[in-house]
A and B are shown apart, each in its own frame.
Chain A
Amino acid sequence: MSDLAQLVADLQEDKVLSEVKARLEAGEDPLAIIEEARRGMQVVGERFEQKEYFVSDLVMSAAIFAQITELIGPHLKKEAAGGKGKVVIGTVKGDIHDIGKNIVIAMLQCHGYEVIDLGVDVSPERFVEAVKESGARIVGMSALLSAVFPSIKETVEAFAAAGLRDKVKIMIGGAPVDEKVREYAGADAVGRDAMAAVYLADRFTAMLA
C-alpha cells in the first residue's frame, strides 16, 4: 500500500489532506492520487467486514474521501467518477429518514459508483422514472419504518408493471429490513450494513455484465 492509501485506511484526516495538497503542488497526476485514495477506501471496507471498523469509521472515511475529491476537482481535465456504473437510490414512500441511505451513498461513491439520489419519501413512479432516464441497472431502497414495508413491495411491483423487472437488480436495506422483508417485497437482495450495498452492487454488476 502507498503512503496515501495507508493514511486514508487509517483515517488520518489532517495527514491525508496535507499529503494530497503537497502532491498536487508537485504536479502529480490527480487521477493517480484518486486511485491511491480509493485503494485506501478498499482497505476501510475490508476492515469493516472484519469488524475492525464500524459505521463511525465509514462515515469518517467518506468525509476524508469527499475532501480529497474536492481538492483534486479543479486539477482534473475530465470527470473521473462513476467508473463502475449507475445506482438509483432512495428512501421509500412514507419514510423520510436518510442517515442510513446517505452512508450507503457515500460508500458507493467512494467505491466508484455514480449514484442518482432520489432523496426521501420516493414514490414507486419516481424510482421507475429515474431508472428509465438514467439507464441505471441497480436500484437501492431504504426504509427505517416497518410501516413502509408495503412501499418497498409496491416499488418492486412498479418495475414489473413497467416491464423493467428483469432489467434491474433491486437491493433493499434499513434497520428493520431483513430476509423476511426481501421475500415479502420480491427484491433481489437485502443488505444489513453500509458495506453490504457496495458488495451487492459489485455482485449485480458482475451478473449484469
Chain B
Amino acid sequence: MTLEEKQEQMFARWLEPQGVEFAGEEAKRAYQERVNRFKDAIQLKKAPDRVPVHPMTGLFPLAYAGVTLYEAMYDYEKAGTALRKYVLELEPDAHNGMFLWPPGRFFELLDYRLYKWPGHGVPADSCYQYVEAEYMKAEEYDALINDPTDFWLRTYLPRIFGNLKPFAKLATLTDVLELPLTCGSFVPFGLPEVQEALRAVMEAGSEALRWVGVMQSVESGLAAQGFPGMFGGATKAPFDIIGDTLRGTHGILMDMYRRPDKLLEALERVTPLAIRMGVSMAKMSGNPVVFIPLHKGADGWLSDKQFKTFYWPTLKKVILGLVEEGLVPFLFAEGGYNTRLEVIAPDLPPGSTIWLFDDTDMARAKEILGKVACIAGNVPITLLTLGTPQEVKEYCKRLIETAGRDGGFILSSGAVIDNIRPENVRALIEAAREYGRYA
C-alpha cells in the first residue's frame, strides 16, 4: 500500500468505529461529518465544510460539571458523566476523552512518586503535577543505550514506584538461554519482597483494567451519539522522553555540553520505541491521530543549532515513522515555535500532521507550514481565563481569517483549559460555527 492508501485506511477505520452502535442515522451522520471535517483539514486536499473546533481541554469538563479531579480519579463513572455533560452540552467537534484523568487507586497501589496528584500532595481540585528530578543519573546512559527495556524495568520503575523498589533485585531476562542457563534468572522472583511487588502489580493491573473499561464505554457511548474522540494514541519526542522524566530539564541541558555523544546515542536508541508506542496505541484504537506534546524544543530553550542537532532529527524520525503507518501526528507545540517553523517545514510529509500552536505567530505559521500541514490553535489561555466571551469571539474571528484561510486549520486553545468560565469555552466553540464556514 502507498502511504496515501494507508492513511485512507486509517481514516476509514475512524469513520466506521468498531464496536460502536450509532444511536441513529442522525448520530452517525453527525459523527462522520465531524471526523470528515478533521480529515479535510488534515489532508489539505480541499477545505472542510467549516473550521473544525477542538478546545484543548484538561480539567475543564470536570470543572464544568462541578467534579474535582480527585473525584474523577477515584470515581470513574462520575468522570464519565462529567465528560458526557461537557460534550453533549457544548458540542465540540472532538473531545479529549478520559485519558487525562487516570485512576488514582492505581497510583496508590504502586506508590507512584513521579507526580503529586489530588489527595497525594496537591488539593482535590488541582491538577496533578510532575516532581522534577534526575530519575536517570548522568552515568547511566550506557545502561539505557545497551538495553532500554531492562533499564526501565530494573532501574527506572523502582525509582518512580515505591512499591516496585524490589524490581531492582530482578535478574536480566536475556540471560535465559540453554536449559542450564535459565533458572538463575528466575531466582529473584522467589524473594518475598519481589513477590509482594508482583502482587501490587497484579492489583494495579486490575484497577487499570477496570478504569479502561469505563473509559471505553463512555467514549464509545459518545461516538454512538455523534461525537468522536480526538486522539487514537500518544507518544513523545525522544528529546522530551529523556529530558522530561529521565534526566530532567537541568540534566539534559547540561548533557548537551558535557556528554553530547552519549545523549545523541540515547536519543537514537529511544526513537523506535517512541514510534512503536504511537503506532501500537493508534492501531488498536482505530483513530489515526497520535498526540505528541512537545516541551523542550520551544523557542528560547535551545539554540537553533541545538534544536537541529539534538531535538529535531529524532522527532522527525518519529513523525515519519508514524506517517509511514498511515497515522497523523498531532504535535502540541506549547510555548513559542516561531524560530522553529523554517526548520520543520521542509521535512514534513504533506497532509499528514497537525501542529497545535500556543504562543506562535499564526499568520507566519500559516505562511510557512500552510501548504504542508494542518495548523491548530491558538486562543491564549490568559484571554480564555481573564477575558470576556466577546473578546474570545473577536480573537477567534481574526484567527480564522488568517490561519483558517482555505482550510488546513483547527480552532483550539493555545494551552490546556482547566477551570475557566464556561461562557468562554462556549464562545470558542460557537466561533467556529459563526465565522468558520467555507464556501
Question: Chain A interface (Cβ within 8 Å of chain B)?
Answer: 11, 13, 53-57, 59-60, 63, 94-99, 102, 145-147, 149, 175-176, 178, 180-181, 184, 193
Question: A180 and B382: CB pair below 8 A?
Answer: yes
Cβ–Cβ < 8 Å partners of B130 in chain A: 97
Cβ–Cβ < 8 Å partners of A55 in chain B: 253, 300-302
Stretch of B37-45, B173-181, B254-262 lying at the A interface = B254-262
Given contacts A55-B253, A176-B381, A178-B382, whether A98 and B302 have CB atoms under 8 Å apart is: no
Q: Which residues of chain B from 377 to 411 have a CB within 8 Å of any chain A CB?
A: 380-383, 385-387
Question: A180 and B386: CB pair below 8 A?
Answer: yes
Cβ–Cβ < 8 Å partners of B116 in chain A: 96
Cβ–Cβ < 8 Å partners of A97 in chain B: 129-130, 132
B323 → chain A closest CB, angstroms: 29
12 additional A-B pairs beyond A147-B127, A180-B387, beta carbons within 8 Å, are: A13-B258, A53-B303, A55-B302, A56-B301, A59-B254, A60-B253, A96-B122, A146-B418, A175-B334, A176-B381, A181-B386, A193-B300
Q: Which residues of chain B from 409 to 424 have a CB within 8 Å of any chain A CB?
A: 415, 418-420
Residue B306 contacts which of A56, A99, A193 (CB distance < 8 angstroms)? Answer: A56
Question: A96 and B127: CB pair below 8 A?
Answer: no
Question: A94 and B126: CB pair below 8 A?
Answer: yes
A181 → chain B closest CB, angstroms: 6
Given contacts A55-B253, A175-B335, whether A147 and B419 have CB atoms under 8 Å apart is: yes
- Is B123 part of the binding interface, using a Cβ–Cβ cutoff of 8 Å? yes
Q: Which residues of chain B from 310 to 344 have a CB within 8 Å of any chain A CB?
A: 334-335
Question: A149 and B385: CB pair below 8 A?
Answer: yes
Question: B415 and A54: CB pair below 8 A?
Answer: no
A138 → chain B closest CB, angstroms: 23
Residue B382 contacts which of A11, A13, A146, A147 (CB distance < 8 angstroms)? Answer: A146
Residue B250 contacts which of A13, A53, A59, A178 (CB distance < 8 angstroms)? Answer: A59
Select from chain A the residue with minimum beta-carbon distance to B132: A99
- Is B249 part of the binding interface, using a Cβ–Cβ cutoff of 8 Å? yes
Cβ–Cβ < 8 Å partners of A193 in chain B: 300
B56 → chain A closest CB, angstroms: 12
Total interface residues in chain B, CB < 8 Å: 36
Shortest 6 CB-CB distances between A and B: which pairs? A180-B382, A56-B253, A59-B253, A55-B301, A99-B249, A96-B129
Q: Which residues of chain B from 287 to 308 have a CB within 8 Å of any chain A CB?
A: 300-303, 306
Q: When chains A and B are docked, how far (Å) is the Cα of A147 from the Cα of B419?
A: 7
Cβ–Cβ < 8 Å partners of A176 in chain B: 381-382, 415
Select from chain A the residue with minimum beta-carbon distance to B306: A56
Q: When chains A and B are docked, how far (Å) is the Cα of A48 from the Cα of B300?
A: 9
- Is B131 part of the binding interface, using a Cβ–Cβ cutoff of 8 Å? yes
Cβ–Cβ < 8 Å partners of B302 in chain A: 54-56
B360 → chain A closest CB, angstroms: 14
14 A/B residue pairs, CB under 8 Å, sorted by A: A13-B257, A54-B300, A57-B303, A59-B254, A60-B253, A60-B254, A145-B418, A147-B59, A147-B126, A147-B127, A175-B334, A180-B382, A180-B383, A184-B386
Q: When chains A and B are docked, how far (Å) is the Cα of A176 from the Cα of B386?
A: 12
Q: When chains A and B are docked, how far (Å) is the Cα of A193 from the Cα of B306?
A: 19
Question: B381 and A146: CB pair below 8 A?
Answer: yes
Select from chain B the residue with minimum beta-carbon distance to A96: B129
Q: When chains A and B are docked, how far (Å) is the Cα of A60 from the Cα of B334?
A: 23
Cβ–Cβ < 8 Å partners of A59 in chain B: 250, 253-254
Cβ–Cβ < 8 Å partners of A53 in chain B: 303
Question: B382 and A98: CB pair below 8 A?
Answer: no
Question: B419 and A54: CB pair below 8 A?
Answer: no
Question: A54 and B418: CB pair below 8 A?
Answer: no
Q: When chains A and B are docked, how far (Å) is the Cα of A102 from the Cα of B132?
A: 11
Cβ–Cβ < 8 Å partners of B258 in chain A: 13
Cβ–Cβ < 8 Å partners of A147 in chain B: 59, 126-127, 418-419
B386 → chain A closest CB, angstroms: 5
A196 → chain B closest CB, angstroms: 11
Cβ–Cβ < 8 Å partners of A96 in chain B: 116, 121-122, 129, 131
Select from chain B the residue with minimum beta-carbon distance to A57: B303
Select from chain A the residue with minimum beta-carbon distance to B307: A54
Cβ–Cβ < 8 Å partners of A145 in chain B: 127, 129, 418
Select from chain B the residue with minimum beta-carbon distance to A14: B258
B244 → chain A closest CB, angstroms: 10
Select from chain A the residue with minimum beta-carbon distance to B131: A96
Cβ–Cβ < 8 Å partners of A63 in chain B: 254
Cβ–Cβ < 8 Å partners of A175 in chain B: 334-335
Given contacts A13-B258, A54-B300, A56-B306, whether A181 and B131 have CB atoms under 8 Å apart is: no
Cβ–Cβ < 8 Å partners of A54 in chain B: 300-303, 306
Question: B382 and A99: CB pair below 8 A?
Answer: no
Question: A56 and B250: CB pair below 8 A?
Answer: no
Cβ–Cβ < 8 Å partners of A98 in chain B: 132
Q: Which residues of chain B from 75 to 120 have a CB within 8 Å of any chain A CB?
A: 116
Q: When chains A and B are docked, how far (Å) is the Cα of A95 from the Cα of B131?
A: 11
Q: When chains A and B are docked, how far (Å) is the Cα of A178 from the Cα of B381?
A: 10
B126 → chain A closest CB, angstroms: 6
B319 → chain A closest CB, angstroms: 23
Q: When chains A and B are docked, how far (Å) is the Cα of A11 from the Cα of B121?
A: 38
Q: When chains A and B are docked, how far (Å) is the Cα of A60 from the Cα of B259?
A: 13
Cβ–Cβ < 8 Å partners of B250 in chain A: 59, 99, 102
Residue A181 contacts which of B132, B300, B303, B382 (CB distance < 8 angstroms)? Answer: B382
Q: When chains A and B are docked, how far (Å) is the Cα of A168 from the Cα of B45?
A: 58
Q: When chains A and B are docked, how far (Å) is the Cα of A178 from the Cα of B387?
A: 13
Q: Which residues of chain B from 248 to 297 have a CB within 8 Å of any chain A CB?
A: 249-250, 253-254, 256-258
Cβ–Cβ < 8 Å partners of B387 in chain A: 180
